[in-house]
Amino acid sequence: MTASYSPGIPPTAVVIDHDTDPVQSDTPAADPLALAAAWLPGPGEDRMLMTVSTVGLDGLPDARTTMLSDYDGERFFFHTDANSRKVAELAASPGVALTILWPGVTRQLIVQGTARRSPRTESDAAYRHRSPYLQQLAWQNTAEFAQRPLAERRARWRNFLSAHGGAEQPVFTPPEEWVGFAVTPHRLVFWVSNPDAASRRIAYTREEAGWARTTLPG
């Protein structure tokens, strides 16, 4: 995994050519994994935010926004703190839904699948390719830190930066609580806006013989 991310610089809105777009086409793409790769940012490009939905420990839906760390053509990756609520929820029920919405509401991709912990070697590699800001965030974005007054949080942030060589010096060692998840999809739903006609969605469901495709209203 080789992607990096610069916070505060979202990907630009996609310009849709509705005559050639694979979701609007009369002959939609056969392989949803390849279509997802064509949609998502490539190596070195800014990562996208997404909503990660899980089943709460109380049986009710739970959701939060996090970063899509990477996509390897088969699995969707995200990373978090091992002490977070979503990690406990995924340990109890690994089913997950990822909702990725492009700027300008031009595209949306929903991924339903199973989340499994990725190997430490993979999560460490993802950490090394994050921006210095996000590396530091992995160390300090804790419940204990969040409860401190703003002035103290700012001071602690500055002190951490100073102790690790300044703002431009990456912290290449991830905290022990840093964990990654790889989501293997069993269903993907692609949506594209269309100002000239009703939009529509293309849903792909994994079956033994391959991917079954269904066209749905937008």
Report how far residue 144's alpha carbon sits from residue 177's, in angstroms, rounded to the nearest whole number. Answer: 14
Is 207 contained in some domain?
yes
CATH number at 81 reads 2.30.110.10
- Asked if residues 179 and 79 have their Cβ atoms less than 8 Å apart, the reply is yes
- pLDDT, tens digit, 9 for 90 and up, residues 87-132: 999 999 999 999 999 988 789 999 999 999 999 998 998 898 888 8
Report how far residue 5's alpha carbon sits from residue 126's, in angstroms, rounded to the nearest whole number. Answer: 11
Is 149 contained in some domain?
no
Name the domain count of the chain: 1
Is 145 contained in some domain?
no
Which pLDDT does position 29 carry in this prediction?
86
Q: Which domain holds residue 91?
A: 32-130+176-217
Is 181 contained in some domain?
yes
141-164 average pLDDT score = 91
Amino acid at 110: I
